[in-house]
Structure 1
Amino acid sequence: MFPRWFGPLAAVVLTAATLAGCSDTLEQFAGPTMGSTYSIKYVRSSQAPTVGEVRAAVDDILSTLDRQVSTYRSDSDLQRFNALPAGQCLAMPPSVVQLTAFGQSLAQRSAGAFDLTLEPLLNLWGFGPQSRGQQVPDAAAIAGVLQQIGLQHVRIEGEQLCKDIDLQLEFNSIAAGYAVDQVSAYLRSQGIHNYLVEITGELQARGHKPDGSSWRIGVEAPREDRQVAQQVLNIDGWSVSTSGDYRNYYEENGVRLSHTLDPRTGHPVSHALAAVTVLHESALQADGLSTLLMVLGPEQGLAYAEKEQLAALFVSRVKGEFVSQASSVFTQRFATEEN
């Protein structure tokens, strides 16, 4: 998994049209968050709050979440938990407990292919906030760090989180999706049911634009040189997340080493999967599942998507070219759309 706080994997390219002559108003605003940016587009009727009120509320949601789950500020609730010694418990806000529980669920459902305690491993391979340069660690170092990770060592006791070993939690693979869900829920609570919310590349869309047309996004092809929309989708009622290995990696002796690490082995993934896009009603689910499928790879990932009835699009490197393969649910829902 990878630290989203370092910046977004911009795997979806928003497409928007200029709208005019409609009774309802298309409002939009953007700002910084989570080391990257967010953008909100929504249709405001005369009964809805002003754009200033909506923006203030969204900024408050995001700043509160940052205070709770950021690993880049020492005063966050999550960092207070991370500073605890082994065998201790600490009361946490609901966001931290909910994200931990979701991570544990994904870990159990994937036999450990998903993990929220990988920061020491990311640092070891040169992808974490405390890394000392990008270099391949030896087997002994990897084995040692593997003793410091594992969600099975974290317990939820009511409002408290407890740790059995001196581990570090990080939510960089799911926090943005959680934030999208929180902002979207706020918009709906204000009577706003036509919107497109994007936070560090994770997004959710519902309803339609003022002219009645659908929100459309372009799923980005996994290219390192430029952004190219591989497929354009209508996403009313869907959240979208893409994970990939094409923006954060290094090479050692001709071997590509991705920032996506497999917690079961302690090594970067070595399969041919370049990117995977997941569509789900929940942005949190889409965010976590795209990371999980990226770890599993094209064969295991597709099998998992079929078993769990997920809408997922896999893009793999095959003999120097990109080859796409979609799950049955994705094909049924999106394959017939015109791009």
Structure 2
Amino acid sequence: MTTPVLSRIAAALAFVALAGCTKAPSVQQLKGFAQGTSYHISYWSAAPIDAPAVKKAVDNEFAVIDKLLSNYRPDSVIESFNSNAAIDSQEVGPEIVQLVRIAETVYQASEGCYDLTIKPLFTLWGFDGETPSLPNDKAIADTLKQIGMPQLTVVDDTHLSKKHAALKVDLSSIAQGYSVESLSRVLEKRGITDYMVEIGGELKTRGQKPDQTAWRIAIEKPLPGEHKLHKILAMPKDAPLAIMTSGTYRHFFEANGQRYGHILDARSGRPVTHDLVGVTVAHADPTIADAWSTALLCLGQEQGLKLANAEHLAALFIRLQNDQLLETRSEAFERLNILTHP
């Protein structure tokens, strides 16, 4: 479903499942490529597991998600909505409507910084292709007239409408979280309650490893060209938890001596310019965590931290100042107590 935008190769801090390398024979692993990135699933159960059936169900779920949410597949449900010039009610199904409802909440809380209708701006800046470039002020101003969450209306549980034909929805900031949750449900429907599901560095864990220790994951340093360990998270064993990250350090281009990242402020139509390079959000729901990680990164350190505390969000902020990485943690993240040191 995803190209580099949806996989957020530019927008995400990479997570690697350290627990996935366990030698315990009872741990089953699935891995491959989907949504323009890699995925890894580790799971185990004391009860017998039909591993081929699990693999088939995972593959089927990826296909369903792709048909629903892919902004790079012309026949997907969301792209059919985008390409339809009609402003009448269109059926998109309950899944997309639920994503829009979550996004509306985050849009309002972020005062418009986060916006699903930002797709025309991604196109203008070239971030949905291979050759991003710097647009002129008039082009930005004209494109801003085409976006805005208030122009997108939830008609009912399965229908959306748009107030002007040019409105287009980009689900890349929320769809990967939805995908992680969907695959988690695939496992749970088969009685699997101990697992780690990861897609492109975005992940969710539940339960523990067979030796009763916690699933552990690593946060990579948010620096261009580096793949070094920054911190390790020991995931809780008593409750599911998702870890979603947005970052500015991979998908960017330079023009006139300035770097432009793919995190766009929907209010200005331009990439953010603050020193916040990554935000990690921990939440029981991967979809909610996915949207909030983008929104908080868009807002920057000061506003983002204030909002995270107001919304009781567990968030880790990483800034880059004078070649130094500086961390700030929200109150809820401190209470989680999952951050360890290498």
Q: Is the 8 A contact 2:118 2:147 kept in 1?
A: yes
Task: Report the Cα distance in structure 1 between the residues aligned to 2:160 and 2:151, rounded to whole angstroms.
Answer: 10
Q: Residue type of the partner of 2:30?
A: F
TM superposition shift of 1:5: 4.4
Question: Residues 86 and 336 of structure 1: is their aligned pair in 2 closer, same or farther, counting only changes over 3 Å?
Answer: closer
TM superposition shift of 1:320: 2.5
SS in 2 for 1:197: strand
Q: Is the 8 A contact 2:13 2:246 kept in 1?
A: no
* Corresponding position of 1:30: 31
Task: Report the Cα distance in structure 2 between the residues aligned to 1:41 and 1:55, rounded to whole angstroms.
Answer: 12
Q: How many residues align?
A: 333
TM superposition shift of 1:44: 2.7
Task: Report the Cα distance in structure 2 between the residues aligned to 1:324 and 1:265, rounded to whole angstroms.
Answer: 27
Structure 1 residue 170 corresponds to structure 2 residue 173: no
Q: TM-score normalised to the size of structure 1?
A: 0.93
Structure 1 residue 61 corresponds to structure 2 residue 64: no
Task: Report the Cα distance in structure 1 between the residues aligned to 2:20 and 2:163, rounded to whole angstroms.
Answer: 52
Q: Pairwise CA RMSD of aligned residues? A: 1.9
Structure 1 residue 322 corresponds to structure 2 residue 325: yes
SS in 2 for 1:4: coil
Of 265, 270, 275 in structure 1, the residue corresponding to residue 268 of structure 2 is 265
Task: Report the Cα distance in structure 2 between the residues aligned to 1:199 and 1:266, rounded to whole angstroms.
Answer: 28
TM superposition shift of 1:18: 4.8
* Corresponding position of 2:17: 14
Task: Report the Cα distance in structure 1 between the residues aligned to 2:176 and 2:339, rounded to whole angstroms.
Answer: 30
| Structure 1 unaligned blocks of 5 or more | none
Q: Residue type of the partner of 1:238?
A: L
Structure 1 residue 154 corresponds to structure 2 residue 152: yes
Task: Report the Cα distance in structure 2 between the residues aligned to 1:290 and 1:40, rounded to whole angstroms.
Answer: 22
| Structure 2 unaligned blocks of 5 or more | none
Task: Report the Cα distance in structure 2 between the residues aligned to 1:57 and 1:74, rounded to whole angstroms.
Answer: 24
Task: Report the Cα distance in structure 1 between the residues aligned to 2:132 and 2:162, rounded to whole angstroms.
Answer: 29
Q: Residue type of the partner of 1:90?
A: Q
Task: Report the Cα distance in structure 2 between the residues aligned to 1:68 and 1:34, rounded to whole angstroms.
Answer: 12
Question: Residues 113 and 56 of structure 1: is their aligned pair in 2 closer, same or farther, counting only changes over 3 Å?
Answer: same
Task: Report the Cα distance in structure 2 between the residues aligned to 1:60 and 1:102, rounded to whole angstroms.
Answer: 25
TM superposition shift of 1:325: 1.0
For residues 1-339 of structure 1, what are the structure 2 equivalents within 5 Å?
A: 3-5=5-7, 7=9, 9-16=12-19, 18-20=21-23, 25-48=26-49, 50-129=50-129, 133-158=131-156, 159-166=158-165, 167-236=167-236, 237-334=240-337, 337=340, 339=342
Identity %: 36
Q: Residue type of the partner of 1:252?
A: A
Task: Report the Cα distance in structure 2 between the residues aligned to 1:29 and 1:64, rounded to whole angstroms.
Answer: 18
Q: Is the 8 A contact 1:10 1:200 kept in 2?
A: no
